[in-house]
A and B are shown apart, each in its own frame.
Chain A
């Protein structure tokens, strides 16, 4: 006999199981901070009371990869450290997501030298890139909200993930820059 909504008591809701599981996952993203440089400071600020990452359920920083499901790579990664990053990533349990935070983790930043990885996505699958040098806590939060969006659309059981072509749209309008007033000499020099 199929279950009919009318036959259920008032305190029971029927729902899609995938939706419930995804809701649980998105509301308790436990990050593993792989903080190697100044981005790590912003990461700490994001978790602290002023910005309060707990509003998104992601305040529990786990320093063991086995208890985390989101790795935030914050800062530059040297090639000598790459095997460590690989190992930590492999130790995380599925489902797992990776945020590449800041210019250095995403592209190598200004450190285009023999020792620095030019973007961790050359060696790891990255889900969200957070731009900035370092990104402000709001930007990192936007990245974590994107991860939540990915979780929402992610199937259960985990299917092969495809690029979702999501991107952050700025929700602010930049104020006009103040007008620079030059002296006559500098103005003439710039004019030439």
Chain B
């Protein structure tokens, strides 16, 4: 099956030496990018006049721990791009990261809107974003130690909710 997504064609011309893997499922095209080339590829996608991916729609992550038949690294980053002005079809970039090197370049210098989305991925999965201006937790509270969306984190938590002060009638 040939994939005629315009971004895939252009990326093949420009980054042929990286041997990017392209996959398409039900009209959605995703391209697997090595982590160290992410900024380069995204800058090209954004600045190319015909592609013009000017909107970073979503940044999220998937934990593939114990996923049946999985042979790639454990964490899969998902970047969804829209091309609003140029009108190209939506594009998904995937970057796979192992547990040992759980860090990736931040896209905040390219898309300001990535800031909170990357903070959420850091909060939920523990992925470090290099060059992020303010990499703090965003959903869980200060002092939370774990990353709750990882598959090896128990649903009821590791006792984090027991450490709060208790008000009774005499102290209130």
Contacts and interface: CB of A to CB of B under 8 A. Distances in A.
B167 interface: yes
Contacts of B139: 80
| A-B pairs, 3 with minimum CB distance | A114-B157, A80-B141, A125-B169
B160 A79 contact: yes
A86 B146 CA distance: 25
Interface stretch (A17-25, A49-57, A116-124, A132-140): A116-124
Interface of B: 139-141, 146, 148, 153-158, 160-161, 164-170, 172
A118 to B, nearest CB: 7
Interface in A76-100: 79-80, 82-83, 86, 89-90
B172 A112 contact: no
A123 B141 CA distance: 17
Interface of A is mostly: loop
B140 A89 contact: no
B116 to A, nearest CB: 16
A191 interface: no
A115 interface: yes
A131 B157 CA distance: 26
A185 interface: no
A161 B169 CA distance: 8
A165 interface: no
B161 A118 contact: yes
A121 to B, nearest CB: 10
A188 to B, nearest CB: 37
A160 interface: yes
5 contacts: A112-B156, A114-B154, A114-B158, A114-B160, A123-B166
Contacts, number: 50
A17 B170 CA distance: 25
A115 B140 contact: yes
Contact of A117 (B153, B154, B161, B168): B161
A90 B156 contact: no
Contacts of B148: 114-115
B166 A122 contact: yes
A8 B26 CA distance: 91
A116 B139 CA distance: 13
Given A114-B153, A114-B158, 10 more contacts: A79-B161, A79-B164, A112-B156, A113-B156, A114-B148, A114-B156, A114-B157, A114-B161, A115-B157, A125-B168
Nearest to A117: B161
B161 A160 contact: no
A140 to B, nearest CB: 23
Nearest to A80: B141
Contacts of A160: 169-170
Contacts of A116: 161
A82 B146 CA distance: 19
A90 B172 contact: yes
B135 to A, nearest CB: 18
A125 B172 contact: yes
Contacts of A89: 167, 172
A119 to B, nearest CB: 11
B155 A80 contact: no
B167 A125 contact: yes
A189 to B, nearest CB: 32
